Structures are given as structure tokens and as C-alpha cells.
Amino acid sequence: MNLNMSRKVKDSRDQPIIELSSVTRVYGKGRAAVRALRGIDLRVDDGEFIVVMGSSGSGKSTCMNILGCLDTPTSGTYFFKGVEVGRLSRDQRALLRRHYLGFVFQGYNLLNRTSALENVELPLIYRGMPPPQRHARALQTLEEVGLKGWETHTPGELSGGQQQRVAIARAIVTEPSVLLADEPTGNLDSTTSHEIMQVFTEFNREQGITIVMVTHEADVAAHAHRIVRFVDGVVESDTRNGGKV
């Protein structure tokens, strides 16, 4: 796998961007073993917007960690763009995260003493992008999430919704193939949550970014193409527009 190839290269329509096959994840051994995932099958096609739901302990966060290359399956296979992730080295998985994945968290995870612009530029620094280009790209992305004029403000000078917009801009500034979002509206009121979901929806629709999002909120899930429900480490249901996938 050439981890430096451009995300603009399109995959075959028949090849999912993400595919989990019989994935299990067990923590510990013997009587202390915890089976977080018990054989997950999941296919995500390029450009889809999928929400993962389930109660605490259902396995959804473990699944997201595997998708984000932050954890590895105990058994089963994870394919990303047709490449078996389990066969990649730790450094190759880090490159996959850097070049193909974006992350948005409930707690924003912004650097408190740096400006919105500097927070968004950070992934581009890791990419080695020269300062003029990364500065211009970060400015453009902040404008795309509705924060033009707020570039010099630190997180402490921004509302919760604005901070999450900065976090989204930081996640998508590298033009990732897949955006992984873990309860991105969990700290926001209902009006702000709706506004943030509109941002996600626009990036999915207009830029074709594939989104996989964990949420407990039904109104948030309503924005997605599919809703996958986890129960006790297995997929209980997988529905699209009210009908079974």
C-alpha cells in the first residue's frame, strides 16, 4: 500500500473503503477476559455517513478505536481501501491515520494556548507542508466551517460550538478519506448540535468525505445514511432510511 498516494484517487465502486470481517477484540485472559467485540461484520462504502449507536459497554468505542488504527483486532480482518490493516507495521498504521483519517472528539481536544488557526494548522505541520501553504489551507478550512474572523481567538475565547467547529476544521484540513467522530455533540445544546450536524452533512455531501460517527442521540443519528446498533459486542441491526441494509 502506498500510504502517500493522494486521496483523490478513486477506488472501485465495488470495493468498500472500510470492511470488517468477523472482528473480535478480547481484553485480558482466562476468567478476567472481556470480550468487547464478538465477531463484527461491517462494510462502509466511499461517501457514506454512518452512525454507530449502543449502550455503554456495547463495543462501539472499541470498534471505533480499531477503525482509527488505535487498537487492533484479536481475530478477524480489517480492510481499508482493500488493504489488510493487520498486516501493516505500527509506522504504516500511523501513516494511515495521518494521511487518510480525521478525528473529532466530544471534548474538542484543542491546544488551549494556541489560536484557532494554529490548532487547524497542526496536522499540516506533521505533514511537512510549508508555512505559506498550510496557513492558506487552514484559513480556507476555518471559513468552510463558518469561523471566518475568529482565526486569532484561543479556545477559551470561543463557545463550545465554535470550539467543535475548530476541531472539525482540524480534522478535515488534510482532506481525509474518512472522518471518525466520537460523540461530537455530546457537550452541546440541541440548537448548537443541529448546527454542528449541518457542518458534518455538508462536508459529506459536498466533499464526499466518508463519516463514521458514534452518538447516543436519535436526532443526531437522523442525519446519517445508516444507523448501526451494537449490543454486547455484536451488530444488532444495520438500517438505511428506515429499511434493513
Q: What is the DSSP string of 174-232?
A: T--SEEEEESTTTTS-HHHHHHHHHHHHHHHHHH--EEEEE-S-HHHHTTSSEEEEEET
Span 64-74, average pLDDT? 95
- Residues 188-213: tens digit of each pLDDT: 999 999 999 999 999 999 999 999 99
Percent of the chain with pLDDT over 90: 86
Residue 14: predicted pLDDT: 72
What residue type is assigned to position 243 of the chain?
G
Least-confidence region, from 7-21, 61-75, 130-144, 153-167? 7-21
Confidence label for 8 from pLDDT (cuts 50, 70 and 90):
very low
Does pLDDT of 3 surpass 70? no
Span 35-47, average pLDDT? 96
- Residues 206-237: tens digit of each pLDDT: 999 999 999 999 999 999 999 999 999 999 99
Confidence label for 7 from pLDDT (cuts 50, 70 and 90):
very low
Q: Which residues, 6 or more positions from 71, have their beta carbon under 8 angstroms from its beta carbon?
A: 25, 62, 65
Confidence label for 22 from pLDDT (cuts 50, 70 and 90):
very high
Tell me if 207 sits within 8 A of 176, measured CB to CB. Answer: no
In this prediction the pTM is: 0.90
What residue type is assigned to position 19 of the chain?
E
126 or 85: which leads in pLDDT: 85
Residue 137: predicted pLDDT: 97
**Cβ atoms within 10 Å of 128's Cβ, excluding its own:** 7
- Residues 113-155: tens digit of each pLDDT: 999 999 999 999 988 999 999 999 999 999 999 999 999 999 9
- Between helix 116-127 and helix 90-100 the angle, nearest 10°, is 130
The DSSP symbol for 4 reads T
| Average pLDDT of the chain to the nearest whole number | 91
Report which of 91, 112, 82, 110 is spatially closest to residue 171, judged by C-alpha positions: 110
Q: Three cell numbers at 17?
A: 473503503
Confidence label for 15 from pLDDT (cuts 50, 70 and 90):
confident
Domain regions of the chain by residue span:
47-73+90-244
Superfamily of domain 47-73+90-244: P-loop containing nucleotide triphosphate hydrolases (3.40.50.300)
Cα dihedral: 72, 79, 88, 175 (round 10) = -100
